[in-house]
Amino acid sequence: MAEINELNATSRKSAGKGAARAIRREGRVPAVIYGDNKEPEAISLDFVDVLKAMNTGMFLSTVYDVNIDGGAMARVIPRDIQVDPVKDFPMHVDFLRIKKNARIVVEIAVNFLNEEECPGLKAGGAFNVVRHEIEVSCPADAIPESIDLDVGSLEIGTTLHASDLKLPGNIELTITDRDFSIVSVVGQMAEVAEGAPEVAEESGDEDEGEGEDKDKE
């Protein structure tokens, strides 16, 4: 299970775009903590700390203990992060407070196992990944880093679905009305061959048309 990390934060009283720009000039990222029937709390975070967290690729599914002004501690999970459209730098973060023993909904990456043993790939096929992440409901203090899915037996033309996942008892899928697809193996050569007759027929029609025009001449 994912460990709970810490972030150091500073309270901020000023709000608005001007105040946010001033905070960014200081090398910090404005943020807000909301939820748990409490008033939203405006804070700022060190830019480097946020950038490192973003670069893990799991920022939005990681629980943090935010240490505010070296005293008050808030357990949160990031719910949204705004980034600069050009430089892709963090601009603002929204955190959700987490109640004790709460369950939350998060997207967890799928970790595909035994790809090197997959007979479909050995036969020249290719993976068609429908879902790289799966949305689940789980305890806030027990978020898995990833969900394993064994693809070692996939043949060309076969698919693994949600029902093939082996989830711990405390984790539930949020999509329950259908057995959705996750990954399949498709045959690349077969797809090319299926398209070939259509090209041939079109070419044949053009040849016939040209021949009829010559006869008329």
pLDDT score at 93: 97
Same domain, 87 and 144: no
Out of 88-97, 138-147, 206-215, give the one with best mean pLDDT.
88-97
Kindly state whether residue 53 falls inside one of the protein's structural domains: yes
% pLDDT > 90, the chain? 65
Give whole-number Cα distances, 86 to 24, 31, 99, 121, in Å.
16, 20, 36, 38
Same domain, 162 and 180: yes
Out of 56-60, 190-194, 211-215, give the one with best mean pLDDT.
56-60
Q: How far, in Å, CA of 17 to CA of 54, rounded?
A: 23
Same domain, 112 and 91: no
Query: Domain containing 58: what range?
Result: 5-99
Same domain, 71 and 121: no
pLDDT score at 187: 87
Q: How far, in Å, CA of 81 to CA of 89, rounded?
A: 10
Same domain, 21 and 90: yes
Same domain, 73 and 143: no
Question: Mean per-residue pLDDT for 109-113?
Answer: 96
Could you report the per-residue pLDDT of 54-108, keeping only the tens digit for each?
A: 998 889 989 999 999 988 889 999 999 999 999 999 999 999 999 878 899 999 9
From 99, 122, 139, give the residue that closes a domain: 99
pLDDT score at 210: 44
